[in-house]
Amino acid sequence: MKRTSTSLGLLIAIIAAATFGLSGAFVKPMLEAGWSPAAAVAARALIGGIVLIPVAIITLRGRWSALWRGRWRVLGMALVGVAGTQLVYFAAIQRIPVGTAILLEYMAPLLLVAVTWALTRHAPKAVVLIGSVVAVTGLVMVVSPDGSGALDPLGLFFAVLGMVGCAAFYVIAARPSDGLPPVALAASGLLIGGVVLAAVGATGIVPFQVSFDDVQLFGQATAWWIPLLVIGVFATAVAYAASITATEMLGSRLASFVGLLEVVAATFYAWLLLGEKLGLLQLLGGALILVGIGFVRSEKADTAADLTTNGTSASGAHEPALDTGPRR
């Protein structure tokens, strides 16, 4: 039963990575057509939240108190995991290549390893360290920044903020659910995050522009609502719900490593839609990421160190949210 659950969790995590990877390639043409990052993120989040509302209602089964008990988790997901992280990511890809931005963002697992190591003074197991090195090597090979726009200081700053927000997303997603279904967390976080961004944009604190001009997609003019719909339904609704679900099923460590496959997907989509390069180096890098995931998967997890869905250790005592492995 445990093996079946893990296999299902891996499948859901792969779906999350594949759909998350769509965002950069589909949003960049919108930004080039006149959309501001805040407007793009707000529209994306609101569409995704609306799509998930019916499923969230069904999974809650009338247990509305679960939303109140998980209010801080919901707010964290909305303000950091949805609004903040996506805003700085889209701001980054306006100034630097998608590959460079996502490379920096997905250094988040290493950031969490370092923070957890410093806080707990427990070194990660050798197999996790090996998997980390192999996977990050593959990550660098996949995106292989060519330097075009990669040294823009403001773009790099936004990308580093995206790394911090990405790490916070996994911390929040791995917290004890306390009866709050993953889809309900995703829906409420997306809706609140979208409303907050729209409100901030209305005040003029950040630029908030939309454009109804056609965008360039697949090398031809395409109606603006087509990429927006793809982003809202697949790269947001499906991606957020799947990622949170997978994190609860797999534990934060394994889910974060499988999440690196988003980089492979994003690079492929950027090649297909934006004409950014994809060669043998990227394919070999993708293979190394898979090998790194295999190393982490092979570890005999210590339940007292790697938290799962309920945030407790084998003894039943409540543990801190961070563990000795990375999470997105």
Q: What is the pLDDT of residue 220?
A: 85
pLDDT of 313 over the 50 cut = no
> Is residue 106, in this structure, part of any structural domain at all?
yes
H-helix or E-strand containing 220? Answer: strand 220-222
Q: What is the pLDDT of residue 2?
A: 60
More confident residue, 21 or 229: 229
H-helix or E-strand containing 202? Answer: helix 182-203
> Is residue 326, in this structure, part of any structural domain at all?
no
> Is residue 316, in this structure, part of any structural domain at all?
no
Span 61-111, pLDDT tens digits: 999 999 999 999 999 999 998 888 878 877 887 788 766 777 888 888 778
The least confident of 119-133, 135-149, 152-166, 219-233 is 135-149
* Burial class (CB within 10 angstroms; exposed 0-12, middle 13-18, buried 19+) of 145: middle
Q: What is the pLDDT of residue 54?
A: 96
Q: Is 159 helix (H, G, I), strand (E, B) or coil?
A: helix
Cα gap 265→288, rounded to integer Å: 14
pLDDT of 261 over the 60 cut = yes
pLDDT of 310 over the 50 cut = no
Count of CA atoms in the C-beta half-sphere (13 A) of 157: 3
> Is residue 313, in this structure, part of any structural domain at all?
no
Q: How many CB atoms lie within 10 A of CB 20?
A: 25
Q: What is the pLDDT of residue 150?
A: 46
> Is residue 314, in this structure, part of any structural domain at all?
no
Report the number of distinct structural domains present in the chain: 1
Work out the pLDDT band at 311, boundaries 50, 70, 90.
very low
**Strand-pair partners of 318:** 312
pLDDT of 299 over the 80 cut = no
In contact, 112 and 59? CB cutoff 8 Å: no
> Is residue 241, in this structure, part of any structural domain at all?
yes
> Is residue 88, in this structure, part of any structural domain at all?
yes
pLDDT of 302 over the 50 cut = no
Q: Classify 250 in phi/psi space as left (phi over 0), alpha (psi -120 to 50) or beta.
A: alpha
> Is residue 56, in this structure, part of any structural domain at all?
yes
Which tokens go with 310?
């309920």
pTM of the model: 0.81
In contact, 70 and 177? CB cutoff 8 Å: yes
Q: Domain range holding 273?
A: 2-298
Mean of per-residue pLDDT scores for the chain: 81
